[in-house]
Protein backbone atom coordinates (compact mmCIF):
# COMPACT_ATOMS: atom_id res chain seq x y z
CA UNK A 1 0.00 0.00 0.00
CA UNK A 2 1.19 3.54 -0.72
CA UNK A 3 -0.09 6.99 0.11
CA UNK A 4 1.47 8.52 -3.01
CA UNK A 5 -1.28 10.37 -4.94
CA UNK A 6 -1.86 9.38 -8.58
CA UNK A 7 0.05 11.46 -11.10
CA UNK A 8 -2.96 12.54 -13.16
CA UNK A 9 -1.71 15.97 -14.23
CA UNK A 10 1.68 16.94 -15.62
CA UNK A 11 2.17 19.96 -13.40
CA UNK A 12 5.05 21.37 -15.45
CA UNK A 13 2.86 21.37 -18.56
CA UNK A 14 -0.04 22.85 -16.62
CA UNK A 15 2.20 25.68 -15.34
CA UNK A 16 3.37 26.35 -18.91
CA UNK A 17 -0.24 26.56 -20.10
CA UNK A 18 -1.10 28.97 -17.29
CA UNK A 19 1.96 31.08 -18.05
CA UNK A 20 1.07 31.41 -21.74
CA UNK A 21 -2.51 32.29 -20.88
CA UNK A 22 -1.37 35.00 -18.47
CA UNK A 23 1.10 36.51 -20.93
CA UNK A 24 -1.56 36.57 -23.65
CA UNK A 25 -3.75 38.56 -21.24
CA UNK A 26 -6.91 37.04 -22.70
CA UNK A 27 -10.27 37.71 -21.13
CA UNK A 28 -12.15 34.61 -20.04
CA UNK A 29 -15.86 34.37 -19.39
CA UNK A 30 -15.16 31.21 -17.36
CA UNK A 31 -12.91 33.07 -14.93
CA UNK A 32 -15.42 35.91 -14.77
CA UNK A 33 -18.23 33.43 -14.08
CA UNK A 34 -16.40 31.78 -11.18
CA UNK A 35 -15.16 35.01 -9.61
CA UNK A 36 -18.57 36.68 -9.96
CA UNK A 37 -20.22 33.78 -8.11
CA UNK A 38 -17.55 33.89 -5.38
CA UNK A 39 -18.13 37.63 -5.11
CA UNK A 40 -21.86 37.07 -4.58
CA UNK A 41 -21.06 34.71 -1.73
CA UNK A 42 -18.55 37.17 -0.29
CA UNK A 43 -21.24 39.86 -0.24
CA UNK A 44 -23.06 37.80 2.42
CA UNK A 45 -20.07 37.94 4.78
CA UNK A 46 -20.05 40.94 7.10
CA UNK A 47 -16.76 40.05 8.73
CA UNK A 48 -13.49 41.67 7.65
CA UNK A 49 -10.19 39.80 7.62
CA UNK A 50 -6.66 40.98 8.27
CA UNK A 51 -4.46 38.92 5.97
CA UNK A 52 -5.76 37.08 2.91
CA UNK A 53 -4.32 34.79 0.24
CA UNK A 54 -5.46 34.68 -3.38
CA UNK A 55 -4.40 31.14 -4.28
CA UNK A 56 -3.84 30.67 -8.00
CA UNK A 57 -7.02 32.41 -9.10
CA UNK A 58 -7.74 33.22 -12.71
CA UNK A 59 -8.96 36.74 -13.43
CA UNK A 60 -9.20 39.88 -11.34
CA UNK A 61 -11.02 40.04 -8.04
CA UNK A 62 -13.89 42.58 -7.89
CA UNK A 63 -14.38 44.96 -4.99
CA UNK A 64 -16.75 42.62 -3.11
CA UNK A 65 -13.90 40.16 -2.72
CA UNK A 66 -11.05 42.63 -2.23
CA UNK A 67 -12.91 44.45 0.53
CA UNK A 68 -12.94 41.33 2.70
CA UNK A 69 -9.33 41.81 3.79
CA UNK A 70 -6.87 44.62 4.51
CA UNK A 71 -3.81 42.86 3.10
CA UNK A 72 -3.65 40.39 0.22
CA UNK A 73 -0.97 38.01 -1.02
CA UNK A 74 -1.21 36.46 -4.48
CA UNK A 75 0.36 33.01 -4.95
CA UNK A 76 0.25 30.93 -8.14
CA UNK A 77 2.41 28.63 -10.27
CA UNK A 78 2.62 31.46 -12.82
CA UNK A 79 2.17 35.12 -11.93
CA UNK A 80 0.49 37.87 -13.90
CA UNK A 81 1.39 41.54 -13.79
CA UNK A 82 -0.64 44.37 -12.40
CA UNK A 83 -1.23 43.21 -8.84
CA UNK A 84 -0.77 45.90 -6.22
CA UNK A 85 -0.09 43.44 -3.43
CA UNK A 86 2.57 40.89 -2.45
CA UNK A 87 3.13 38.02 -4.89
CA UNK A 88 4.75 34.60 -4.57
CA UNK A 89 5.42 31.86 -7.11
CA UNK A 90 3.96 28.79 -5.45
CA UNK A 91 2.47 25.44 -6.36
CA UNK A 92 -0.93 24.66 -4.86
CA UNK A 93 0.44 21.26 -3.83
CA UNK A 94 3.38 22.73 -1.86
CA UNK A 95 2.38 25.97 -0.16
CA UNK A 96 5.40 27.95 1.14
CA UNK A 97 3.52 29.47 4.06
CA UNK A 98 3.76 28.83 7.77
CA UNK A 99 0.82 27.47 9.73
CA UNK A 100 -1.81 30.05 10.69
CA UNK A 101 -0.50 32.66 8.23
CA UNK A 102 -3.87 33.87 6.88
CA UNK A 103 -7.40 34.36 8.09
CA UNK A 104 -8.85 34.17 4.55
CA UNK A 105 -7.87 32.05 1.53
CA UNK A 106 -9.70 32.32 -1.80
CA UNK A 107 -9.06 30.20 -4.90
CA UNK A 108 -10.83 30.49 -8.26
CA UNK A 109 -10.36 27.75 -10.86
CA UNK A 110 -6.98 26.32 -9.91
CA UNK A 111 -7.48 23.46 -7.45
CA UNK A 112 -9.14 21.09 -9.95
CA UNK A 113 -5.74 20.49 -11.59
CA UNK A 114 -3.74 19.35 -8.55
CA UNK A 115 -2.75 15.71 -8.19
CA UNK A 116 -3.07 15.61 -4.41
CA UNK A 117 -6.27 17.51 -3.68
CA UNK A 118 -6.67 16.06 -0.15
CA UNK A 119 -3.12 17.16 0.65
CA UNK A 120 -3.66 20.61 -0.86
CA UNK A 121 -6.82 21.14 1.20
CA UNK A 122 -4.99 20.04 4.33
CA UNK A 123 -2.21 22.57 3.65
CA UNK A 124 -4.79 25.29 3.09
CA UNK A 125 -6.51 24.50 6.37
CA UNK A 126 -3.18 24.56 8.20
CA UNK A 127 -2.30 27.92 6.62
CA UNK A 128 -5.48 29.40 8.09
CA UNK A 129 -5.63 30.96 11.51
CA UNK A 130 -8.30 29.55 13.85
CA UNK A 131 -11.72 30.67 12.60
CA UNK A 132 -10.19 31.56 9.23
CA UNK A 133 -12.29 31.17 6.08
CA UNK A 134 -11.58 29.21 2.90
CA UNK A 135 -13.57 29.88 -0.28
CA UNK A 136 -12.93 28.18 -3.62
CA UNK A 137 -14.42 27.57 -7.04
CA UNK A 138 -13.32 24.63 -9.16
CA UNK A 139 -14.55 22.74 -12.20
CA UNK A 140 -16.84 19.80 -11.41
CA UNK A 141 -17.39 16.41 -13.01
CA UNK A 142 -19.95 17.49 -15.63
CA UNK A 143 -17.58 20.06 -17.15
CA UNK A 144 -16.95 19.45 -20.88
CA UNK A 145 -18.98 16.24 -20.84
CA UNK A 146 -20.00 16.78 -24.48
CA UNK A 147 -16.39 17.17 -25.61
CA UNK A 148 -15.30 14.11 -23.64
CA UNK A 149 -18.05 11.95 -25.18
CA UNK A 150 -17.37 13.26 -28.69
CA UNK A 151 -13.64 12.54 -28.48
CA UNK A 152 -14.32 9.03 -27.19
CA UNK A 153 -16.72 8.28 -30.05
CA UNK A 154 -14.44 9.64 -32.77
CA UNK A 155 -11.29 7.95 -31.45
CA UNK A 156 -13.03 4.61 -31.00
CA UNK A 157 -14.16 4.77 -34.62
CA UNK A 158 -10.91 6.02 -36.17
CA UNK A 159 -8.20 4.79 -33.79
CA UNK A 160 -9.69 1.71 -32.19
CA UNK A 161 -9.26 3.13 -28.69
CA UNK A 162 -9.69 6.19 -26.49
CA UNK A 163 -6.83 8.48 -25.45
CA UNK A 164 -6.78 10.87 -22.46
CA UNK A 165 -7.91 14.23 -23.82
CA UNK A 166 -10.21 15.92 -21.29
CA UNK A 167 -9.32 16.34 -17.62
CA UNK A 168 -11.29 14.36 -15.04
CA UNK A 169 -12.96 16.53 -12.42
CA UNK A 170 -14.18 15.78 -8.90
CA UNK A 171 -17.89 15.62 -8.08
CA UNK A 172 -19.85 17.47 -5.42
CA UNK A 173 -20.10 14.61 -2.92
CA UNK A 174 -16.39 13.82 -3.08
CA UNK A 175 -15.43 17.42 -2.41
CA UNK A 176 -17.69 17.72 0.63
CA UNK A 177 -16.02 14.66 2.11
CA UNK A 178 -12.54 16.01 1.34
CA UNK A 179 -13.28 19.25 3.19
CA UNK A 180 -14.22 17.25 6.28
CA UNK A 181 -11.22 14.98 5.89
CA UNK A 182 -8.92 18.04 5.78
CA UNK A 183 -10.34 19.20 9.11
CA UNK A 184 -12.53 22.10 8.01
CA UNK A 185 -15.41 23.07 10.25
CA UNK A 186 -18.87 23.96 8.90
CA UNK A 187 -18.07 22.73 5.36
CA UNK A 188 -20.46 23.72 2.58
CA UNK A 189 -20.43 22.73 -1.10
CA UNK A 190 -22.78 23.85 -3.83
CA UNK A 191 -22.77 23.85 -7.61
CA UNK A 192 -23.70 26.05 -10.55
CA UNK A 193 -23.94 24.82 -14.14
CA UNK A 194 -23.67 26.94 -17.24
CA UNK A 195 -23.98 26.01 -20.90
CA UNK A 196 -22.01 27.99 -23.46
CA UNK A 197 -22.77 27.70 -27.17
CA UNK A 198 -20.02 27.80 -29.76
CA UNK A 199 -20.01 28.42 -33.49
CA UNK A 200 -17.42 25.69 -33.93
CA UNK A 201 -15.12 23.49 -31.89
CA UNK A 202 -12.18 25.82 -32.51
CA UNK A 203 -13.92 28.57 -30.52
CA UNK A 204 -14.32 26.17 -27.58
CA UNK A 205 -10.62 25.32 -27.69
CA UNK A 206 -9.80 29.06 -27.76
CA UNK A 207 -11.75 29.63 -24.54
CA UNK A 208 -9.92 26.74 -22.88
CA UNK A 209 -6.53 28.10 -24.00
CA UNK A 210 -7.48 31.52 -22.62
CA UNK A 211 -7.35 30.14 -19.07
CA UNK A 212 -4.63 27.55 -19.62
CA UNK A 213 -6.99 24.57 -19.51
CA UNK A 214 -5.88 22.60 -22.55
CA UNK A 215 -4.65 19.01 -22.15
CA UNK A 216 -2.07 18.69 -19.35
CA UNK A 217 -2.75 15.05 -18.45
CA UNK A 218 0.30 12.94 -17.64
CA UNK A 219 -0.93 10.10 -19.87
CA UNK A 220 -1.90 12.35 -22.78
CA UNK A 221 -0.96 11.16 -26.25
CA UNK A 222 2.00 13.01 -27.76
CA UNK A 223 0.62 12.55 -31.27
CA UNK A 224 -0.77 15.85 -32.62
CA UNK A 225 -4.46 16.02 -33.40
CA UNK A 226 -5.12 15.35 -37.06
CA UNK A 227 -7.63 17.25 -39.15
CA UNK A 228 -9.43 13.97 -39.80
CA UNK A 229 -9.89 13.32 -36.08
CA UNK A 230 -10.94 16.90 -35.33
CA UNK A 231 -13.51 16.78 -38.13
CA UNK A 232 -14.87 13.51 -36.75
CA UNK A 233 -15.07 14.97 -33.23
CA UNK A 234 -16.88 18.07 -34.50
CA UNK A 235 -19.30 16.00 -36.59
CA UNK A 236 -20.11 13.65 -33.72
CA UNK A 237 -20.46 16.60 -31.34
CA UNK A 238 -22.95 18.33 -33.63
CA UNK A 239 -24.92 15.17 -34.39
CA UNK A 240 -25.34 14.18 -30.76
CA UNK A 241 -25.65 17.49 -28.92
CA UNK A 242 -26.82 20.28 -31.25
CA UNK A 243 -30.53 20.90 -30.67
CA UNK A 244 -30.96 24.43 -31.97
CA UNK A 245 -29.17 27.28 -33.79
CA UNK A 246 -26.49 24.85 -35.09
CA UNK A 247 -24.15 25.76 -32.24
CA UNK A 248 -22.17 23.35 -30.08
CA UNK A 249 -23.26 23.36 -26.41
CA UNK A 250 -20.54 22.98 -23.77
CA UNK A 251 -21.36 22.33 -20.12
CA UNK A 252 -19.30 24.02 -17.43
CA UNK A 253 -20.00 22.88 -13.88
CA UNK A 254 -18.43 24.99 -11.16
CA UNK A 255 -18.39 23.66 -7.60
CA UNK A 256 -18.03 26.11 -4.74
CA UNK A 257 -16.37 25.13 -1.48
CA UNK A 258 -16.54 26.92 1.85
CA UNK A 259 -14.98 25.85 5.11
CA UNK A 260 -13.65 27.35 8.32
CA UNK A 261 -10.56 26.54 10.32
CA UNK A 262 -11.87 25.14 13.62
CA UNK A 263 -12.36 27.49 16.57
CA UNK A 264 -14.07 27.06 19.92
CA UNK A 265 -16.50 29.90 19.17
CA UNK A 266 -18.08 28.07 16.22
CA UNK A 267 -21.45 26.30 16.51
CA UNK A 268 -21.17 22.67 17.56
CA UNK A 269 -23.59 19.84 16.74
CA UNK A 270 -25.73 18.75 19.68
CA UNK A 271 -24.70 15.66 21.59
CA UNK A 272 -27.08 12.69 21.21
CA UNK A 273 -29.85 12.98 23.79
CA UNK A 274 -29.24 16.67 24.53
CA UNK A 275 -32.18 18.03 22.52
CA UNK A 276 -34.64 20.13 24.53
CA UNK A 277 -37.65 19.47 22.27
CA UNK A 278 -39.21 16.15 21.38
CA UNK A 279 -39.59 15.32 17.69
CA UNK A 280 -43.33 14.79 18.24
CA UNK A 281 -43.66 18.35 19.59
CA UNK A 282 -41.78 19.79 16.63
CA UNK A 283 -44.05 17.91 14.21
CA UNK A 284 -47.23 18.77 16.12
CA UNK A 285 -48.18 15.11 16.65
CA UNK A 286 -48.91 12.89 19.63
CA UNK A 287 -46.23 10.45 20.75
CA UNK A 288 -47.42 6.81 21.15
CA UNK A 289 -45.72 3.56 22.07
CA UNK A 290 -44.37 1.51 19.16
CA UNK A 291 -47.06 -0.63 17.54
CA UNK A 292 -50.02 1.39 18.87
CA UNK A 293 -52.36 2.51 16.08
CA UNK A 294 -53.70 6.08 15.92
CA UNK A 295 -57.43 6.27 16.79
CA UNK A 296 -59.86 6.12 13.88
CA UNK A 297 -57.38 4.55 11.41
CA UNK A 298 -57.46 0.90 10.31
CA UNK A 299 -55.54 -1.12 7.77
Per-residue pLDDT tens over the stretch 17-34: 888 887 776 667 888 889
pLDDT at 14: 87
CB 54 within 8 A of CB 35: no
pLDDT score recorded for residue 297: 44
State the Cα–Cα distance between residues 266 and 261, nearest whole angstrom: 10
Q: Answer whether residue 293 shows pLDDT above 80.
A: no
Answer whether 84's CB lies under 8 Å from 60's CB. Answer: no
- Comparing 120-129, 149-158, 259-268, 285-294, the range with the smallest average pLDDT is 285-294
- Express as a percent the part of the chain with pLDDT over 70: 85
Q: What is the average pLDDT across 244-255?
A: 91
Per-residue pLDDT reduced to its tens digit, 113-125: 899 999 999 999 9
**55 CB-near residues (< 8 Å, 6+ apart):** 75, 76, 92, 95, 105, 106, 107, 110, 111, 124, 136
Q: Which domains does the chain have, with CATH numbers?
A: 11-263 (3.40.50.150)
- The CA distance from 248 to 144, in Å, is 11
* pLDDT value at 290 more than 90: no
- How many Å is the maximal CA-CA distance in the chain? 76
Residue pair 97/127 in contact by the 8 Å Cβ criterion:
yes
Mean pLDDT of the chain: 84
In this prediction, residue 1 has a pLDDT band, given cuts at 50, 70 and 90, of very low
Half-sphere exposure of 278 (CA within 13 A, CB side): 7
Question: Alpha-carbon distance 192 to 27, whole Å?
Answer: 21
Range with lowest mean pLDDT among 91-105, 128-142, 202-216: 202-216
Edge to edge, what strands does the sheet with 86-89 contain?
86-89, 69-76, 49-55, 102-108, 128-139, 248-260, 185-198
Percent of the chain past pLDDT 90, that is, above it, reads 44
Per-residue pLDDT at 96 exceeds 70 = yes
Say what the pTM is.
Answer: 0.83
pLDDT for position 80? 60
CA nearest neighbour of 261 among 199, 182, 190: 182
Amino acid sequence: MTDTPPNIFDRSVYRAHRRRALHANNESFLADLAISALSERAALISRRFTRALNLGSHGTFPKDLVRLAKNWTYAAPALSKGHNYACAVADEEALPFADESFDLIVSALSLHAVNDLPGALLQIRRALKPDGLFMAAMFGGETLRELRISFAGAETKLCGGVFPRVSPFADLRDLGGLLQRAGFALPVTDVERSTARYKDIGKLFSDLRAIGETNALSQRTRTPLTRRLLDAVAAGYAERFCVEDNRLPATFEIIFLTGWAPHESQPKPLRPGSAKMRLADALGTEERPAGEKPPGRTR
